[in-house]
Structure 1
Amino acid sequence: METVGVGADTANSDTVSSTSNSFPIVRFLQAPVTTLFEYSGVLRPRSSNDIRESESLISHSRSHSSSDSGSSRGSSDGGNNEGEVSIRIIGDGEPEEEDGGDGGDTGVVGGDSVGGGGGEREVGDSSDVDGRSGAEGSNNTSSDSSNQQRYDLQQVSRWIEQILPFSLLLIIVFIRQHLQGFFVTIYVTAFMYKSNDILRKQTALKGERKLSVLVGYSIIFMLHVVGVYWWYQNDDLSYPLLMVPPKTIPPFWHAVFIIIVNDTMVRQAAMAFKLVLLMYYRNGRGHNFRRQGQMLTLVEYGLLLYRAFLPAPVWYRFFLNKEYGGLFSSFITGLYLTFKLTSLVEKVRSFYAALKALSRKEMHYGSYATLEQVSEAGDMCAICQEKMQAPILLCCNHIFCEDCVSEWFERERTCPLCRALVRPADIRSFGDGSTSLFFRLF
């Protein structure tokens, strides 16, 4: 008979579930990574049974060794008594054993009753024992694999916890050594993100833009660019703008700082130029707004092409360092220039496609509708819900205002009503005034 401890397990599970709901602050301060793994469910939270596991293993091994020695002594004594039969009743979890002595017989009884007679014995069914042993073997294998994974995760988390404090110290020292460059990079990046948001809002206003607001924003953008270059006029910051390498070989982090600042300031100046375009197309409708979107797209692809060239002078000076040897520095510089030229092919193709779209006079997604076509379709635009202005007939026979459909095709390539494919996906449009926010470091 076996006794199952239900009450103790229930109490332990309730304790674990109650403690897992609250975040362990003290344990997080001692082992942050392991605590986060356990709290997120990647690792099983450790309970009091896991903590006493090592102690129970020691006592368990001692009890097994004493029982094995006792059984060996009993078997040796039984072997000396000839003619005696040793009967052992096995439980559900014990394996079946058959030992034969020198002069005695050993039988296994599979039930509660023993058959009569001196030599008669009832042997339990071996198929049940084999089934139970196979199930126990598979369970042991799965538990061993889960324990191994838990052990590996614990080792990784402990390794991270060991290097984490030292890494934080290195980051603090690095920020302190480059404190000015660190905060300047954050400032110019935040200013550029805000400027991009302002430009997109002014582009969306279309005919409701105010000229004074556009002029004010463009002046602020240009003053910001001039102020940054005036502040760093002695740091070789303006030479790469003219595709001229710096005079001296810059350290690695200084080279990264030069590239980031130049890349951000060039985009800032392009935003000021886009505001000038918005001033020019402020009072236009229909055709002018379509040309405005094409011009903004052309400016953006020209900016992307120029920004692809911008890091080349800095890295050219950085790699061409004779201190590493003339042959090695020349080889590395040649590889970098080769990679750079191969990456410029896509930028040149995109700029050429934008220039080709601007030079195309006719619309490539429809034609102007006649009065009969407008009267048949109704004199109401489905986009703006007003009377049509310069109606455009699409290839799917739906008619919209030129102003409305031009704005629609800056974001979509399908008809607003039937979702039929109308505009070919040649290049991405930047007609909403947006600017690419990713840095070009290499």
Structure 2
Amino acid sequence: MTHNPNSSHSFHRSQSADLTQPQPRVLLTAHSSNTLPSMSVSGSFHRTVESARHLRDSFSSVIRGIEPLVETARTVNAEVSSFLNRPQSESNLSRPPGNDDGSFVINLHVPPTPRETEATEEINIEDVGNFLNNPTNNTDNNNTDDQERMQTVIEAQECLKVLLKYVPFILILLAKAVYDYHEGIFILIILFVTFAHSNSAVKKEAIKRQRRSISTLSLELVYIFVCLVFIHYVFEDDLHNFNIVLNLVLIRTFTHPLSVWNLLWIVLITDFVLKLFTVSIKILITMLPGAVLEFKKRGKVYLFIEAVSQLYRSIAAIQPWLYYLLESYQGPEKIVAVFLSAFYMISKGTDLMSRMKLLKTAFFKVLQNVSIGSSPSKDQIQTAGDHCPICHDEYDSPVLLQCRHIFCESCVTTWFDREQTCPLCRAKIVDDPAWRDGSTSYFMQLF
């Protein structure tokens, strides 16, 4: 039976005519066996999707290949633009050596600016490479730092919670201590207020010199005396038979071993009493007339009195401490007390040496009669003006400093009792003026 081509064509036309709905695309394939072409719908769909994906990948790879070229073109364009905008004196035109035909060589490489060079030198190439190769490691490091900070905050909060739990108990202990030792605390407050007030009054009156107030200084002396008498007779029981006069001359008698609180109490009260006596002596020096003790020398006297006071207060603490250490142990344990006493004296030696050094310096300054400057000539006085820059009055015993500035001798010595530099140019003229203004140290000698 032979194959009729016309009949096959009519069969396909009739079949396509019966289709009333849209049908998927049919792929007609020819076979060598002269059979009817077969339809492959699903295979054609998959090939179309794969073709589109391949086309997309090809387009992306082309774009990635073009990007370096575009960046290079932009860079070259920027370099050419900067080269054309530069003056001809700064351009990179150069004539090849041995070439006289008028040709030039254009160097399009633009040297970096100093700021760009410094920025480039500050960049660590290894760090940049590590960041580009391992970006996740940098993120992990940042996360680790954040976690450590959070952990620190959490630990601090936990510690704060624990401390807050103990706050009520600490307040209870403080309240009990205040109630048990309220009279002793009151004594210390009175002594401190008296010392601070009198010390401030001496400093204010010492700077006035001729205009000092004798009545104010006298009231301060009465205030100190009344305070000491009041404390001695009203709180005699709390002072544990503390005799002010005997303690001042370092004559003490202990009838029983001292506790650590009794030791600190005796040392602290003795230190405050000696401070008040030091301030009283400085008040008497300030009240002296200028004819007895010149005002320009009083700063050295104040320094000497303070040096003696600090050394004496340091020595006054030795006896109670040695008694406390030696009487704390009995029998075979006495060797421990001896060793502790030896260590105390060794550590105390440094403090005593510093006090003695200060006393030596102050003593030699009192003996020296060295002027802080020289006497200026008339021409120098006329050049500087006829009035002192400090008191704005006519010169009284003018002094020419090393910095070539002129002042009244009394004015500038008062200034140098508190400062080291010239009032005008701030040049250093004298040494440390500590304690030359009539002040007394607030340091409490507890050991």
Asked if Structure 1 and Structure 2 have the same fold, meaning a TM-score greater than 0.5 normalized by the shorter chain, the answer is yes
Cα distance in 1 for residues equivalent to 2:145 and 2:348:
52
Return the offset for 1:408.
1.0
Determine the structure 2 residue equivalent to 1:194: 197
Cα distance in 1 for residues equivalent to 2:145 and 2:261:
50
Return the offset for 1:133.
4.8
Determine the structure 1 residue equivalent to 2:342: 334
Highest Rg: 1 or 2? 2
Structure 1 residue 346 corresponds to structure 2 residue 354: yes
Correspondence list, 1:80-159, <5 A? 115=50, 133-134=136-137, 137-159=140-162
Cα distance in 1 for residues equivalent to 2:323 and 2:416:
44
Return the offset for 1:135.
5.8
Match of 1:212 among 187, 212, 215: 215
SS at match of 1:214: helix
| Partners of 1:250 and 1:318 within 8 A in 2 | yes
Which runs of no fewer than 5 residues in structure 1 stay unpaired?
1-112, 123-129
Structure 1 residue 300 corresponds to structure 2 residue 303: no
Match of 2:170 among 167, 170, 180: 167
Structure 1 residue 268 corresponds to structure 2 residue 268: no
Determine the structure 2 residue equivalent to 1:291: 297
Match of 1:395 among 391, 402, 406: 402
Determine the structure 2 residue equivalent to 1:71: none
Return the offset for 1:220.
2.2
| Partners of 1:240 and 1:311 within 8 A in 2 | no
SS at match of 1:293: helix
Return the offset for 1:297.
1.3
| Partners of 2:191 and 2:227 within 8 A in 1 | no
| Partners of 2:194 and 2:224 within 8 A in 1 | no
Correspondence list, 1:342-421, <5 A? 342-363=350-371, 365-371=372-378, 373-421=380-428
Deviations 1:105-132 (A, max 9, x none): xxxxxxxx98579xxxx9xxxxxxx977
| Partners of 1:294 and 1:354 within 8 A in 2 | yes
| Alpha carbons of structure 1 residues 334 and 136: separation in structure 2 relative to 1, 3 Å | closer
Cα distance in 2 for residues equivalent to 1:157 and 1:429:
42
Cα distance in 2 for residues equivalent to 1:376 and 1:149:
67
| Alpha carbons of structure 1 residues 408 and 138: separation in structure 2 relative to 1, 3 Å | same
Letter in structure 2 aligned against 1:179: H
| Partners of 2:419 and 2:433 within 8 A in 1 | no
Return the offset for 1:222.
2.4
Return the offset for 1:375.
3.8
Match of 2:435 among 407, 430, 435: 430
SS at match of 2:374: strand
Determine the structure 2 residue equivalent to 1:313: 319
| Alpha carbons of structure 1 residues 115 and 150: separation in structure 2 relative to 1, 3 Å | farther
Cα distance in 2 for residues equivalent to 1:139 and 1:334:
56
Moved more, 367-376 or 257-266: 367-376
| Alpha carbons of structure 1 residues 232 and 351: separation in structure 2 relative to 1, 3 Å | farther
Letter in structure 2 aligned against 1:145: E
Structure 2-normalised TM-score? 0.65
Deviations 1:235-261 (A, max 9, x none): 243344333454132221222122222
SS at match of 2:421: coil
Deviations 1:242-296 (A, max 9, x none): 3345413222122212222211111111111111111114x459x8111111111
Letter in structure 1 aligned against 2:171: L
Which runs of no fewer than 5 residues in structure 2 stay unpaired?
1-47, 58-132
Return the offset for 1:362.
2.7
Return the offset for 1:388.
0.5
SS at match of 2:425: coil
Cα distance in 1 for residues equivalent to 2:433 and 2:403:
23
| Alpha carbons of structure 1 residues 230 and 334: separation in structure 2 relative to 1, 3 Å | farther
Match of 2:257 among 221, 226, 249: 249
Correspondence list, 1:15-94, <5 A? none
SS at match of 1:392: strand
Cα distance in 2 for residues equivalent to 1:161 and 1:114:
71
Deviations 1:336-358 (A, max 9, x none): 12211221111111111111111
